[in-house]
Structure 1
Amino acid sequence: MRLPGGEMLTWSDRPGENADRPLAALAARLVPAGARVLLAGAHDPAVLDALTHARVTCLLRGYRDAATVTGRADQVVVAGSAGLPAGEEYDVVIAGAGLDAIESVEGPRLCWDEILARLAAALRPDGELLLRVPNPLGLHRLVAGDAWYAGRADAEWTVDGVLDTSRPANLDQARVRLATAGLGVVTCFAAYPRMDLTTALLATDQLSWRTTNALFDAVLHDACTSGFAGRFVLADPARLAVDALHAGRAADLAPSWLVLARRTGTSRSTPTPADMGEHVGAHGLPVALVRFGAVGSTVVEVIDGASGWHWRRPEPHARTEPHARPEPHVRAEPHARPEPHARTEPAPAPYASRMVAHRDPAAPDGPVPDGRLLRSLLLDGCLRRDTSRLRHLLRGYTDWLTGQADDGRLTGAVALAGAENLVVAGDRFAVLDPTWRADEPLPVDVVLARTLWRFSADLLTGGYAHPWTSTLDVAGLTVVLGGVAGRDLDRAVVDAAVETEAAVSATVRGLDADGPIRLAADLRAVTPTDPPPGPRSYQQLREAWLRQRDENTRLAAALKWTEELLTSRERALRRAEAKIDLLSGTLGYKAARLAITPARLARRGARAATRRARAIVTRKERT
Structure 2
Amino acid sequence: MTTETAPRIALPGGEMLAWSDLPEQRLPGGGPLAALAERVVPAGARVLLAGPHDPALVERLAHARVTCLLRSWPDGVALADRAGGGVSVVVGGPGGLPAGEAFDVVIAACGLDAIESVEGTRVGWDGLLERLAGALAPGGALLLRLDNPAGLDRLVAATPWYAGRDDADWVLGGALDAGRPANLDQLRDRLAGAGLATAGCFAAYPGAAAPTALVDAAALAGRGTSGLFDAVLHGACAGGFAGRPVLRDPARLAVDALHAGLGAALAPGWLVLARRGNDAPEGLPAGTATGLPVALVQTGPPGIGVVEVVASAVGWRWRVGGPVTATPDAPFATREAAWRDPSALTGPVPEGRLLRTVLLDTCLRRDLDALRRLLRGYADWLAGHADHAGRLGGAMALASPDNVVVADAAGPAPVFAVLDPSWRAADGWPVDVALARGLWRFAAALTTGGYAHPWPSTLDVAGLTVVLGGAAGRELDRVAVAAAVDAEVAVTAALRGLDGTARHALAEELRAVEPTAPPPGLDSHQQLREAWLRQKDELTRLAALLRWTEDLLTSRERALRRAEATINLLSGSLSYRVGRLAIAPARLAKRGARAAKRRARTALEQRRAAGDQPVRAGEERQ
1:162, distance to aligned residue in structure 2 (A): 2.6
Equivalence for 1:366: 347
Equivalence for 1:456: 443
Change (3 A) 1:451 1:249: same
- Determine the C-alpha separation between the residues in 2 that align with 1:310 and 1:161: 41
1:429, distance to aligned residue in structure 2 (A): 0.6
What are the within-5 Å matches in structure 2 for residues 119-268 of structure 1?
Answer: 119-264=132-277
Change (3 A) 1:97 1:606: farther
Equivalence for 1:6: 14
Moved more, 237-246 or 143-152: 143-152
- 1:153-202 deviations in Å (ceiling 9; x for gaps): 22223232431110000001000001111111100000110133200000
AA aligned opposite 1:18: L
1:459, distance to aligned residue in structure 2 (A): 0.1
- Pairing partner for 1:40 from 40, 44, 50: 50
Equivalence for 1:112: 125
Structure 2 residue 549 is matched with structure 1 residue 549: no
Change (3 A) 1:143 1:354: same
1:599, distance to aligned residue in structure 2 (A): 4.9
Identity of aligned residues (%): 62
Equivalence for 1:102: 115
- Determine the C-alpha separation between the residues in 1 that align with 2:513 and 2:466: 16
- Determine the C-alpha separation between the residues in 2 that align with 1:600 and 1:253: 96
1:290, distance to aligned residue in structure 2 (A): 0.4
Change (3 A) 1:608 1:528: farther
Contact 2:513 2:520 in 1 (8 A): no
- 1:371-410 deviations in Å (ceiling 9; x for gaps): 1000010000011111111111111111111211112211
1:360, distance to aligned residue in structure 2 (A): 1.7
Contact 1:350 1:512 in 2 (8 A): no
Contact 2:219 2:294 in 1 (8 A): yes
- Radius of gyration: which is bigger? 2
- Determine the C-alpha separation between the residues in 1 that align with 2:504 and 2:605: 60
- Pairing partner for 2:573 from 586, 592, 615: 586
- Determine the C-alpha separation between the residues in 2 that align with 1:361 and 1:525: 34
- Determine the C-alpha separation between the residues in 1 that align with 2:261 and 2:600: 95
Equivalence for 1:310: 317
- Determine the C-alpha separation between the residues in 2 that align with 1:491 and 1:394: 19
SS at match of 1:303: strand
SS at match of 2:166: coil
Moved more, 256-265 or 151-160: 151-160
AA aligned opposite 1:419: P
- Determine the C-alpha separation between the residues in 2 that align with 1:353 and 1:67: 44
SS at match of 1:198: coil
Change (3 A) 1:177 1:601: same
Change (3 A) 1:154 1:566: same
- Determine the C-alpha separation between the residues in 1 that align with 2:575 and 2:592: 22
- Pairing partner for 2:27 from 10, 14, 18: 18
Contact 1:178 1:184 in 2 (8 A): yes
SS at match of 1:125: strand
Moved more, 528-537 or 292-301: 292-301
Contact 1:188 1:260 in 2 (8 A): yes
Segments of 5+ residues of structure 2 without an aligned counterpart are 1-8, 280-284, 409-413, 613-622
What are the within-5 Å matches in structure 2 for residues 589-608 of structure 1?
Answer: 589-594=576-581, 595-596=583-584, 597-599=587-589, 601-602=591-592, 605=595
Aligned residues: 585
1:516, distance to aligned residue in structure 2 (A): 5.5
Segments of 5+ residues of structure 1 without an aligned counterpart are 267-276, 317-342
Change (3 A) 1:265 1:420: closer
Equivalence for 1:357: 338
* Greater helix proportion: 2
- Determine the C-alpha separation between the residues in 1 that align with 2:303 and 2:165: 32
AA aligned opposite 2:233: L
AA aligned opposite 2:373: H
AA aligned opposite 2:313: A
Moved more, 238-247 or 39-48: 39-48
- 1:212-263 deviations in Å (ceiling 9; x for gaps): 0011000000000000001111111111111110011100001110000011
- Pairing partner for 2:548 from 547, 558, 561: 561
Equivalence for 1:417: 399
Moved more, 73-82 or 242-251: 73-82
Change (3 A) 1:182 1:45: same
- Determine the C-alpha separation between the residues in 2 that align with 1:284 and 1:131: 18
1:40, distance to aligned residue in structure 2 (A): 0.8
Equivalence for 1:292: 299
1:146, distance to aligned residue in structure 2 (A): 1.1
- 1:344-375 deviations in Å (ceiling 9; x for gaps): 42256799535322222334221100110000
- Determine the C-alpha separation between the residues in 1 that align with 2:286 and 2:360: 35
Change (3 A) 1:515 1:5: closer
- Determine the C-alpha separation between the residues in 2 that align with 1:455 and 1:486: 17
- Pairing partner for 1:389 from 362, 370, 375: 370
- Pairing partner for 2:76 from 66, 70, 74: 66
- Determine the C-alpha separation between the residues in 2 that align with 1:348 and 1:122: 51
What are the within-5 Å matches in structure 2 for residues 454-533 of structure 1?
Answer: 454-513=441-500, 518-533=505-520
- 1:3-50 deviations in Å (ceiling 9; x for gaps): 111111121111132175101001111111111110111112221121
- Determine the C-alpha separation between the residues in 2 that align with 1:448 and 1:614: 74
AA aligned opposite 2:491: V
- 1:495-547 deviations in Å (ceiling 9; x for gaps): 22112112222222333457665544432321100001233111111111110
AA aligned opposite 1:570: E
- 1:577-602 deviations in Å (ceiling 9; x for gaps): 11111111123333443424525754
- Determine the C-alpha separation between the residues in 1 that align with 2:480 and 2:606: 60
Change (3 A) 1:150 1:610: farther
- Determine the C-alpha separation between the residues in 1 that align with 2:121 and 2:603: 122
AA aligned opposite 2:62: T
Equivalence for 1:56: 66
- Determine the C-alpha separation between the residues in 1 that align with 2:594 and 2:123: 114
SS at match of 1:532: coil
Equivalence for 1:79: 92
Moved more, 377-386 or 157-166: 157-166
- Determine the C-alpha separation between the residues in 1 that align with 2:94 and 2:601: 114
Equivalence for 1:539: 526
Change (3 A) 1:55 1:488: same
Moved more, 353-362 or 100-109: 353-362
1:471, distance to aligned residue in structure 2 (A): 1.2
SS at match of 2:145: strand
Equivalence for 1:346: 327
SS at match of 1:367: coil
Change (3 A) 1:506 1:579: same
- Determine the C-alpha separation between the residues in 1 that align with 2:572 and 2:40: 107
- Determine the C-alpha separation between the residues in 2 that align with 1:479 and 1:4: 71
Equivalence for 1:272: none
- Determine the C-alpha separation between the residues in 1 that align with 2:100 and 2:511: 67
AA aligned opposite 2:435: L
Change (3 A) 1:607 1:393: farther
Equivalence for 1:406: 387
Change (3 A) 1:348 1:513: farther
Contact 1:161 1:169 in 2 (8 A): no
Moved more, 439-448 or 595-604: 595-604
TM-score, with structure 1 as normaliser: 0.89
SS at match of 1:43: coil
- 1:285-330 deviations in Å (ceiling 9; x for gaps): 10000000259951011010111100101136xxxxxxxxxxxxxx
